[in-house]
Structure 1
């Protein structure tokens, strides 16, 4: 509550700059007092199934309810179905998708949480066991499993697995390898990306607030366009408690799709996923490059050798010419004293008369 008091007359003369600061502080205080907390970034295109519901403060969606005596399960799905193979034109364009979500799982040994892709008719088959997938035989699931079920060969009670039509994972990864515990109650952030050009799915996981990991925790090659054809599917986040009191909560969820042009499919993102034809073509290109590199190197070495030979010949010729200049000096002759003979010449000087000339 803001209280105003009368000020002495001496204090009424306030500098304009100080008055501006006072007004700004007052507006900031009012803004803070009137601010309303935002709901989690979950969007309005959601359908809540089973025991899934918003929490009292609307900061998250709780998928399971531990107060229920029987097993609890909940699911949130995007209302609008998607197709993983676009048939808008004659040439079908495979569809890729990326999703990321933040969640937490309480410290109990329940089933955990899963990102699922299911047929549109799945809503009528949702059950309270095994992420609600027990009655469905066509699904894709990325499970964040916190229990060990020997019937499906679970790795441990802290793993990420990829399920294709069965709860027996086709690929698993130990979450302990990155120093995280799924059912620690701590907020976690996961990214699931499917690329239709390389036909592979990648799963990443980190503690909330940490940057997106460069290396995926799980990678698996699968063609979802071939799996679902042109069928409409739903994407969602599901959880079930099993025989525990586990609670799974979702705080944020983003999902987006993108169509990949056919001409981009020539080079998948995963080099190890190349076909034999592409591998042979790549090997031939490498051999060609190596041959060109060898020839270029040979030509370069030959040129260097020729240049070096010219430099040596030039220096040798220069040295020889310098030697001759030192030994023989142009314009001078090598003379000896014995090569000249000296003679005495008498010269008589007279007065210029004829008699003197006769002498």
Structure 2
């Protein structure tokens, strides 16, 4: 049987190749995601994130702890230049367990190489980021008040604004799919977060809002967008079923409103339908009133014009008069003096 020494050329050469591949390996871009209409193209998978055979969703964490996975859009964008707004929607589920949950993160270049060893949501130690966390673990160190909330994090794991989902009868980690919409409007500098169950339409009112100037925060830096899930102290599964992200450049003279990335999808349907129905009813009532008023004015003017130019016959009743004929006798008397002559 042939044996190889560690110093033998073939083994040393193969070892060098393996070491080279290990340090130069790039993240796996799943062909399933590239061909999946539920996901944006050019999404890279990092850490434990994977697409299992025959599955169309991404599993971010594994059953062991610690575990972390990241979905990251390969193409960055900048807030500098024309006012930049964005809209994103994604569907996910979190299984029961003592895990951290899931977060939508806006991070600088290089984060993808550091996130796996940086604690909750991979953000510990980062000095510049924006995170919208769907937190399923109560961490007293950062002031979490329960294990079922949405928080907005800016350069710190201590949320600057929180929405308690327990008050809305929603549970993040019961295994059921949930859908979230996150919109930023550059004109109003308003960040809005919405959440609903998978079979529900987009809520009209956001569950969390926060005023922030992202242009001032990021300046000219490249911004990468990702979805991350970590399980440091426990084990659970985090699944992402769809994710779309859209950047909108808006002219200064135009007012930007948060919009759904898909015009034909669920974005703004619930609130918009109610708004459109009320608008249509109000418009119908207003139009009917205006039409009636116009008709009244036309009839009134017609009556005035006709009364000025028309001659109405006037009946003159002539009462009969009595006529009678009288004979007048004319008597001519002769003068006697003429007769004498």
TM-score relative to the length of structure 2: 0.63
8 A Cα contact 2:192 2:208, kept in partner: yes
Secondary structure of 1:197's aligned partner: coil
What do the CA deviations read for 1:300-350 (whole angstroms, capped 9, x no partner)? xxxxxxxxxxxxxxxxxxxxxxxxxxxxxxxxxxxxxxxxxxxxxxxxxxx
Asked whether 1:71 is paired with 2:61, we answer: no
Residue 206 of structure 1: aligned partner: 196
Structure 1 unmatched runs, 5+ = 1-37, 87-92, 270-351, 355-359
Determine the C-alpha separation between the residues in 2 that align with 1:196 and 1:215: 19
What do the CA deviations read for 1:215-249 (whole angstroms, capped 9, x no partner)? 00000011111111011011000000121111110
Determine the C-alpha separation between the residues in 1 that align with 2:133 and 2:97: 16
Secondary structure of 1:117's aligned partner: strand
8 A Cα contact 2:40 2:245, kept in partner: no
Determine the C-alpha separation between the residues in 1 that align with 2:61 and 2:211: 31
Residue 59 of structure 2: aligned partner: 62
Secondary structure of 1:194's aligned partner: strand
What do the CA deviations read for 1:17-62 (whole angstroms, capped 9, x no partner)? xxxxxxxxxxxxxxxxxxxxx8461133111111111123222100
Asked whether 1:115 is paired with 2:104, we answer: yes
Determine the C-alpha separation between the residues in 2 that align with 1:213 and 1:155: 25
1:50–1:353: structure 2 CA closer, same or farther, 3 Å change rule? closer
Determine the C-alpha separation between the residues in 1 that align with 2:228 and 2:37: 17
Structure 2 unmatched runs, 5+ = 1-34, 259-330, 334-341
After TM superposition, give the deviation of residue 268 of structure 1 in Å.
9.3
Determine the C-alpha separation between the residues in 1 that align with 2:187 and 2:129: 21
After TM superposition, give the deviation of residue 179 of structure 1 in Å.
2.1
Residue 215 of structure 1: aligned partner: 205
Residue 144 of structure 1: aligned partner: 134
Secondary structure of 1:240's aligned partner: strand
Residue 144 of structure 2: aligned partner: 154
1:232–1:244: structure 2 CA closer, same or farther, 3 Å change rule? same
8 A Cα contact 1:111 1:242, kept in partner: yes
After TM superposition, give the deviation of residue 122 of structure 1 in Å.
0.8
Determine the C-alpha separation between the residues in 2 that align with 1:98 and 1:43: 13
Determine the C-alpha separation between the residues in 1 that align with 2:114 and 2:195: 29
Secondary structure of 1:83's aligned partner: coil
Which residue among 28, 44, 48 is the counterpart of 1:47?
Answer: 44
Asked whether 1:95 is paired with 2:84, we answer: yes
Residue 235 of structure 2: aligned partner: 245
Q: Which has the larger radius of gyration?
A: 1
Number of equivalent positions: 232
1:246–1:225: structure 2 CA closer, same or farther, 3 Å change rule? same
Residue 78 of structure 2: aligned partner: 83
Determine the C-alpha separation between the residues in 1 that align with 2:218 and 2:183: 17
Secondary structure of 1:227's aligned partner: helix
1:231–1:217: structure 2 CA closer, same or farther, 3 Å change rule? same
TM-score relative to the length of structure 1: 0.60
After TM superposition, give the deviation of residue 200 of structure 1 in Å.
1.4
